[in-house]
Amino acid sequence: MSGPRDWGRSTWAALAAAGSAGLLAGALVFQALGYAPCPLCLWQRWPHVAAMAIGVLAVFVPKRALLGLGALSAASSGMIGIYHTGVERHWWQGPTSCTSSGVRGVSADDLLNQIMAAPLVRCDEVAWQMLGLSMASWNVLASLALAGVWLHAASKRA
C-alpha cells in the first residue's frame, strides 16, 4: 500500500493545484454569499489561477523549474495577502483605488467626485473574520502552505 511518502512530483503538483482550486472556489462561495471582493482580494486570486494552470502542466511535465514556478505563484498570492492584511489593520496605506484617505483640504465638488468614483468595496475594512483573522490573512496561511507543497513536490524524485 502506498501513501504520501511514495507520491511523486506529479501527484504533489496535482495536490497543490487542487489546493489553489479550493481557495478560489471558497472565494467564489463567499462572493455568492454577498461578500463582494475588493481590488486586493481580486489580485490575490490571479496567482492561484496561474498555480492551477502550472499544476495541470506539471502533472504531465513534472520538471523542477515548473514546480518552482508553482511555488512562486502560490507564494506571490501570500505576499499580496500580507500586504492586504497590513492595509486592513491600518499598518500601512493601501492603494488609493480602494482605501479612504480622509477629506482634509478637499473641496465639496472634489469630495463628491471622489465619492462617485469610489469602489463599492474598500480594501482597508475587514468584511469577515474567523479566529481574529480576515480572509486575506487566511489566504496568507493557505498560500504559503501551498507554496510549501510545491517545494516539496520539487524535492521529490521524478
Task: Sketch the domain layout of the chain as residue ranges.
Answer: 4-94+104-155
* pLDDT reported for residue 62: 84
Could you report the per-residue pLDDT of 19-60, keeping only the tens digit for each?
999 999 999 999 999 888 998 999 999 999 999 999 999 999
pLDDT confidence of residue 115: 62
134 beta partners: 129
Contacts of 134 (CB under 8 A, 6+ apart): 85, 88, 126, 127, 128
Q: What is the mean pLDDT of each run of 10 residues along the chain (158 residues)?
A: 71 94 96 90 95 94 92 97 94 76 65 64 83 94 97 86
pLDDT at 83: 96
Residue 85 confidence (pLDDT): 96
Give the C-alpha separation, 148 to 72, whole Å. Answer: 10
- For residue 38, give the 3-state DSSP assignment: coil
Which fold does the domain 4-94+104-155 belong to in CATH?
A: Bromodomain-like (1.20.1550)
Task: Give pLDDT, residue 95.
Answer: 81
Please give the pLDDT value at position 6. Answer: 65
The region, left, alpha or beta by phi > 0 then psi within -120 to 50, assigned to residue 132 is: left
Enter the pTM of the model: 0.80
